[in-house]
Structure 1
Amino acid sequence: MLWRLPVSVRSLYIANCRSYSYSSKAVADPLKILFCGSDEFSIASLEAVHAAKLEEPQLVESIDVVHRPGKRTGRGLKVVRDVPIKHFAKDDLGLTTHEIDTFTGWTPPVPYNLVIAVSFGLFVPPRILCAAKYGGLNVHPSLLPDLRGPAPIHHTLLKKRKMTGVTIQTLHPKHFDHGTIIAQTPPPGLPLDVVPELTPAKLTSVLGKAGAKMLVDVLKNQAFLHPLRDHGWYGSTDNPIDHAEKITKQHRFVDHDNSIGEDVDRRNRVLGNLWCTLPNGKRVILDDIRLSNFPKPSRQEDDYQGKPGLMINANDDLVLRTGDGCELKIHACTVEAGRRGEGGETVKSALKKT
């Protein structure tokens, strides 16, 4: 709920709650929605659409939820972790769910006239879209065309965007994030500098609620009906436009020689589980690291002066020195194939041998 958010985060959401003007002379049939989602961001939109259904049954007749199978995690991949929307849709909202890992060979077993995809992860093919009288809609947590791709929230923070927002677009039959923009956070967007050390979870909560409200406004004003009006504005400005590629293991890699302390600290806050390598080549996961504001040598020996990398300081603390001389104290780490969070002594031992 909104009141549970920190005051600074709440201000971001409130700043986004402006009126949006849509107009459509046509009147749509009651909506039979095929909702495709997965995570907390998509849950916010599903909850809002479900509330609209209860409030205005003539607007939304039915909602069926499509989600992907859970992923196996843990040692031996013995534990299956379901996507969050599965239990929320079924247990909390009492909706019918459909679990698929591909649209190939799958036909929705229920009638539908609108597809809504929010943080789903699978491309909705033309066969599914064409069967929907009103096509498809997507809620995207960025100011498109900036940060097209699967990880816009993380890249918003990694790329130090000063503004962000939410976009409602139609689902394109051939490409991700290339539909017609029918609603977007008004210019100049939501300011991010009002929240210090913003995390992906906080930003997901803010943009999730903003996107949910915008989606319901689009449905109520029937802005998805033709002729569509393009409400995109960001691409016509001089603001940067980048791709939000999938976050991979390489995004978490810390290159000792070329790293910058502030960048490592930001990536640690946004991504977590950063990693580097020992002199013997073994990978070290940095479970808990914190920036220390003293860019000076950790040890007094001449052969360590100014060198970046893993090292032991004068207080016998394990630290990571970055290329610009900053240091991050390592409070917990995991050595490859070792016990989680208990690799500190192993790393120290390896460093003393070099």
Structure 2
Amino acid sequence: MRVIYAGTPEFAVPALQGLMDAGHEIGMVLTQPDRPAGRGMQLKASPVKQLALQHGLRVYQPESLKPPEVQAEIAAVQAEVLIVAAYGLIIPTAVLNFPSRGCYNIHGSLLPRWRGAAPIHRAILAGDAETGVTIMEVVPKLDAGNMVSKWAVPITEADTTQTLHDAISREGARLMVAAMHTLQTTGQLPSEVQDESLVTYAHKLEKSESAIDWTQSAQQLSRQVRAFNPFPVATAQFKEQVCKVWFAQAAEGSGTPGIVIHTQPLQVACGSGVLEIHALQMPGGKRQTAQQFVQGQHVQAGDRFL
């Protein structure tokens, strides 16, 4: 089929590759404009743009899809399907009406739970037992379209947003390719209406949420650390410096919140339980194992994290 693909970050790369591998014609790739990145703040193409250019695809990067001239460019493609994966821009109703066979999105949660910008992070933070991906129809209301297919995955104590992101991205691509095969061969794509009574919203992460409050339970802090990996990364103050806590898990034990009770392994007391820290990073330094951190910072039992 003739497809317009709208996506920007790494999450959206596997689906674009999968659609090309399946033989679909990618008439246009919509992706956000190049943004400054890195220490030099040089303009950098999105991961989706990089893949598209490698395959000689037409890339279009408007700041907004609202101007009439932008919509005219998109309409001229005469696409049968618009496929969306973490595009990041609002898609006006007029644009949704262009494709003859509809618009479909890869959403990183088991809808109707966790509509919105940060579904993987919020699922971990909430202590959900599982998450997954939903292929859904795109409608003007946020993530409210009918559901075409789903894939679920348990959330373990070893999972971070990064590990779940990678699994969901990969499986979302597989489900979307399968859905497009069904649409192409049968001319229709059965779907299920979302139960509005079960809707929750995954609000965008705020950097202010990254600071660790040691009076919370170790279970909650473990979720916070894992949810904020790889971005924006949970933070704690140690010896008047703000360090990043990359990975940690809850363990049994007790003590005054914030106090180091063991150094091998590195364990810090919480409001209930203790947080066993596995990876940290000091300002200007590289990510370290907990034992490298203990040795480099001369950590002792009784030291305090704030």
TM-score, normalisation: structure 1:
0.67
- Of the three residues 326, 331, 341, the one matched with 2:274 is 326
C-alpha contact 2:267 2:274 (8 A) present in aligned 1: no
- Of the three residues 208, 223, 227, the one matched with 1:250 is 208
Partner of 1:211: 172
C-alpha contact 1:50 1:63 (8 A) present in aligned 2: no
Amino acid at match of 1:68: Q
Partner of 1:274: 234
C-alpha distance in 1 between matches for 2:146 and 2:263: 58
Count of aligned residue pairs for this structure pair: 288
CA apart distance, 1:212: 2.1
User: Alignment partner of 2:90: what SS?
Assistant: coil
| Residue 46 of structure 2 is aligned to residue 83 of structure 1 | yes
Residues 74-95 of structure 1, C-alpha deviations (whole Å, 9 max, x = no match): 44x624443211111211x332
Residues 197-221 of structure 1, C-alpha deviations (whole Å, 9 max, x = no match): 1233332333223322322232222
Residues 150-186 of structure 1, C-alpha deviations (whole Å, 9 max, x = no match): 122222333232233332222113x2211222x122x
Call closer, same or farther: CA 1:142–1:329 in 2, change over 3 Å: closer
C-alpha distance in 2 between matches for 1:64 and 1:197: 39
After TM superposition, the structure 1 = structure 2 runs for residues 139-150 of structure 1, keeping only pairs within 5 Å, are: 139-150=106-117
CA apart distance, 1:66: 1.0
Amino acid at match of 1:215: M
User: Alignment partner of 1:222: what SS?
Assistant: helix
Residues 87-123 of structure 1, C-alpha deviations (whole Å, 9 max, x = no match): 11211x3322122332233232651322211111111
Q: Which has the larger radius of gyration?
A: 1
C-alpha contact 1:284 1:333 (8 A) present in aligned 2: no
| Residue 116 of structure 2 is aligned to residue 153 of structure 1 | no
CA apart distance, 1:328: 4.4
Partner of 1:69: 33
Partner of 1:111: 77
After TM superposition, the structure 1 = structure 2 runs for residues 199-348 of structure 1, keeping only pairs within 5 Å, are: 199-222=160-183, 229-232=190-193, 235=195, 241-257=199-215, 259-272=216-229, 273-276=233-236, 284-288=242-246, 290-291=248-249, 293=251, 295-297=253-255, 306=256, 308-309=257-258, 311=259, 320-329=268-277, 332-334=280-282, 339-340=284-285
Q: Which runs of 5+ in 2 are unaligned?
A: 288-292
Residues 223-264 of structure 1, C-alpha deviations (whole Å, 9 max, x = no match): 89998743257x39x9x642122122133221233x111221
Amino acid at match of 2:6: C
**C-alpha RMSD of the superposition:** 3.8
C-alpha contact 1:286 1:330 (8 A) present in aligned 2: no
C-alpha contact 1:123 1:176 (8 A) present in aligned 2: no
User: Alignment partner of 1:165: what SS?
Assistant: strand
Partner of 2:98: 131
CA apart distance, 1:36: 0.4
CA apart distance, 1:341: 5.4
- Of the three residues 95, 100, 107, the one matched with 2:62 is 100
C-alpha contact 2:132 2:152 (8 A) present in aligned 1: yes
- Of the three residues 143, 155, 160, the one matched with 1:177 is 143
C-alpha contact 1:129 1:135 (8 A) present in aligned 2: yes
| Residue 82 of structure 2 is aligned to residue 121 of structure 1 | no
Q: State the identity %.
A: 22
Amino acid at match of 1:132: P
User: Alignment partner of 1:218: what SS?
Assistant: helix
Q: Which moved more, 1:154-163 or 1:218-227?
A: 218-227
Call closer, same or farther: CA 1:249–1:320 in 2, change over 3 Å: farther
CA apart distance, 1:70: 3.4
Amino acid at match of 1:104: K
- Of the three residues 198, 201, 218, the one matched with 2:159 is 198
| Residue 9 of structure 2 is aligned to residue 39 of structure 1 | yes
C-alpha contact 1:276 1:284 (8 A) present in aligned 2: yes
C-alpha contact 2:131 2:153 (8 A) present in aligned 1: yes
